[in-house]
Structure 1
Amino acid sequence: MEIRQLGRQGLKASALGLGCMGMSRSYGTPDDVESIATIHRALDLGCTFFDTAEMYGPFTNEALLGEALRGRRDEAVIATKFGWEFDENGVQGELNSRPEHIRWVTEQSLRRLGTDHLDVLYQHRVDLNVPIEEVAGAVGELIEAGKVRYFGLSEAGPETIRRAHATFPVSVLQTEYSLWERDIEAEILPVLRELGIGLVPYSPLGRGFLTSDARRAEDYPETDYRRNDPRFQGANFDANTAAAASVREIAARKGATPAQVALAWLLARGEDVVPIPGTKRRERLEENLAATDIVLDDADMAALDLGETAGPRYPEAFMGMNGR
């Protein structure tokens, strides 16, 4: 597995990482046994970059990853996130990026993950009530104390990125980026390249849409996030299915799967890009990691320009969680 550098502070990760959220929430019923086996298989295949967050579960995903990495911590690069309040029953509340809260969350994450340091600590969402300079300063202090190694932002916009980076170096931005979500190319990606900040695309397979086995929203169980995703509904679903036809065509020509082509497209966007496709199954993991063997030429890349995706990328009720 190729190793890529993210940012200028020394962070290195496998070219493809593993998004762990779906092991604990949003996508069907959790299966801890298979999830742990998937994490172990990832390590065996050279995938070393694991993405989690206190919000996933909440809390249970960090604990699951910590259990899976017991005895193999030195092989892994762990990225987790802070940024929310939770009550005693684990019900998610308001955004909270106050420095004292960041310090408290970090201690809890270290405990659940069973480690003495976090490789990457992201602000999960921009908290407009706390200046980003205070957030960057708090994470910087944790880095200086040895509890965190690298500072990351998630779903931040250009101005926020610049202000944070001016206070303490940002190594990586995590945001949605894929063949069907390319909004960051206009303003955000140029800022990352200017400042030398790495990019970690989440939902690189369009929440499963680009794997060719997507179903209409109503066909997913109540526990699956996609049941409420506008892009899986009605006319949006039809339009997006038609747009993804070129992915399937190129995959068939190359003897690959649509997921592998979609990931290969992202890998070709730059050596500072490390996608984190999520799965809780070994079979799917192995399929995804084989994308590193797919070579796309200029004609392929041009054919994969799918145009604008039909429908907003989040339900209206979620949009407040994604302001930049």
Structure 2
Amino acid sequence: MKQRQIRQDGKLVSEIGLGCWSFGGSYGPTTEKEAHRTLAAALDLGVDFLDTANVYGMGVSEKIIGSFLKGDTSRFTIATKAAIWRDPDTGKRGFNNKADYLRDELEKSLTRLGTDHVDLYYIHRRDQEVEVEDLMETLLGLKAEGKIGGIGFSEISPATLRRAVAVGSVDAVQSEYSLWTRQPELGMIQTCAELGVAFVPFSPLGRGVFAPVPPDPATFEDGHFRKGTPRFSEPNFTYNLQKISEFKALAADLNVSPITLAVAWCLAGGPHLIPIPGTRTAGHLAECAAGSAFPMTSEIMGKIEGVLPVGWAHGDRYTHDQWVGVEGYC
């Protein structure tokens, strides 16, 4: 597995990481045993970059990673996040970027992961009541204490990134980016490249639609993240599957899994892109990791663009409630 730079200090990770949101049950039930098999497969495949968060399963994802590592964090570079709070009884959520809250949540994450520091600490969502300059001072303080190795932000705008960088070093920005979610091309990918910041695409497989067998929205139970989202609701979903079938036909012509091709397309977006596909199974992870070795060419990129041009997807990627906290910039 080839490597790319994740931090400004030159730290390298596998150019494809593993998103661990699904370990918390957001896409359906899973088990610790199954998640451990996936983590073991990651090591075998050379995937050494894990992405999790305090709210993934309300701590479940971090606990599963911690129980696998058993105190030995040397085999993985681990990123986690904080700033989103949820009421487990009402489901109500909000954002908190205050220093005391972030420090407390970090300590809880470290306990669940079984370590005394985390390699990268993201602000999961901006709390607009806290100026980003003050937020950076908090994060720089945690870094100086050795609690975190690097600073990251999730779903911010290029303008916010520039304000943050004016205070101190920012290592990574994470945003949704895939063949059906391409807003970061309108400034974020370019700004990260200019500032030497890693860009970490999450959901590079379109929340499962680029898998050989697409998800069936009829099976989504209450609480399932994709239930009710516009792209997975009719008539949008049928339109989307029709377009994706053309992409899958192209993958078949190239004798490659559509999963592998989608990840390879993402990698080709720039040397600072480090996609983190999420999966609960070792088999799917192997298809993702194969994207690192796929011989992408400008000709193939052109064919993909011809099949799935910018803006082809039907429906928004989030519901109205899910959009809260995502910074717009166009």
Q: TM-score range by the shorter chain?
A: over 0.9
Residue identity matched to 1:268: A
Are the equivalent residues in 2 in contact too, given 1:6–1:273 (CA < 8 A)? no
The residue that corresponds to 2:326 in the other structure is 322
Q: 1:310 to 1:86 in 2, by over 3 A?
A: closer
State the partner residue of 1:162.
Answer: 162
1:23-48 deviation line (CA, Å, top 9, x unaligned): 11310112111101111221122110
Counterpart for residue 93 of structure 1? 93
Q: Is residue 26–residue 57 contact of structure 2 (8 Å, CA) maintained in 1?
A: no
User: Aligned residue for 2:207?
Assistant: 207
1:310 match? 314
Deviation at 1:89? 6.1
**What is the percent sequence identity of the aligned residues?**
35
Q: CA deviation at 1:87?
A: 4.9
Q: After TM superposition, which residue ranges in structure 1, 4 or more long, deviate above 4 angstroms?
A: 86-92
How many residues are matched?
Answer: 324
What's the offset of the Cα at 1:154? 0.3
> Hey, what's the Cα distance between the residues in 2 that align with 1:162 and 1:66?
34
| TM-score normalized by the length of structure 2 | 0.93
Q: Report the Cα distance in structure 1 between the residues aligned to 2:50 and 2:322, rounded to whole angstroms.
A: 25
Q: Is the 8 A contact 2:71 2:115 kept in 1?
A: no
In 2, Cα distance between equivalents of 1:285 and 1:79 = 18
Distance 2:89 2:225 in 1: 21
> Could you say if the C-alpha distance between residues 310 and 213 of structure 1 is closer, same or farther in structure 2, counting changes exceeding 3 Å?
same
Displacement, 1:245?
A: 3.0
* SS of alignment partner, residue 109 of structure 2: helix
User: In the alignment, what sits opposite 1:14?
Assistant: 14
- Larger fraction in helix: 1
| Aligned match of 1:129 | 129
* Separation (CA, whole Å) in 1 of partners of 2:88 and 2:320: 27
Cα-to-partner distance string for 1:219-271 (whole Å, 9 max, x where unaligned): 33334322222101112112211222342122112221111100010111122
CA–CA distance in 1 between the matches of 2:144 and 2:92? 30
Query: How many Å separate the matches in 1 of 2:292 and 2:14?
Result: 11
Contact kept in structure 1, 2:208 and 2:215, CA below 8 Å: no
- Whether the 8 Å contact between 1:216 and 1:233 is mirrored in structure 2 is no
Contact 1:7 1:272 in 2 (8 A): no
**Rounded Cα–Cα distance in structure 1 between residues aligned with 2:220 and 2:84:** 27
Instruction: Report the secondary structure of 2:115's partner residue.
Output: coil
**Residue 237 of structure 1 corresponds to which residue in structure 2?**
237
Mapped to 2, the partners of 1:91 and 1:181 lie a distance apart of 26
Flag the 1:197–1:141 CA change in 2: closer, same or farther, 3 A.
same
Counterpart residue identity of residue 13, structure 2: A
In the aligned structure 1, how far is the partner of 2:265 from the partner of 2:104?
39
Per the TM alignment, residue 276 of structure 1 is displaced from its structure 2 partner at its CA by: 0.5
Q: Secondary structure at the match of 1:30?
A: coil
Shift of 1:144: 0.8
Equivalent residue letter for 2:293: D
**What SS is found at the alignment partner of 1:94?**
strand
Deviation at 1:8, TM superposition (A): 2.6
> Partners of 2:58 and 2:114 in 1: how far apart?
17
**How far is 1:205 from its partner?**
0.0
Unaligned runs of 5+ in 2: none
Which moves more between the two structures, 27-36 or 225-234? 225-234
| Gap regions ≥5 residues in structure 1 | none
Match of 1:320, as an amino acid? Answer: V
1:53 maps to 2:57: no
Report the CA distance shift for 1:160/1:174 in structure 2 as closer, same or farther (over 3 A).
same
Shift in alpha-carbon separation, 1:212–1:37, aligned structure 2, 3 A: closer
CA contact (8 A) 1:217 1:229 kept: no
How far apart, in 1, do the equivalents of 2:90 and 2:319 lie?
A: 22
In 2: Cα distance, 1:283 partner to 1:215 partner? 16
The whole-number CA distance in structure 2 between the counterparts of 1:73 and 1:104 is 21
Gap change, CA 1:191 and 1:64, over 3 Å in 2: same
* Contact kept? 1:158, 1:188, Cα under 8 Å: yes
Conserved 8 A contact 2:53-2:59: yes
| Structure 2 residue 296 is the aligned partner of structure 1 residue 292 | no
Inter-partner Cα distance in structure 1 for 2:107 and 2:153:
19
- The correspondence of residues 1-324 of structure 1 with structure 2, limited to 5 A, is 1-70=1-70, 72-87=72-87, 93-305=93-305, 306-307=308-309, 308=311, 309-324=313-328
- Judge which range, 90-99 or 13-22, deviates more: 90-99
8 Å contact kept, 1:246–1:304: no
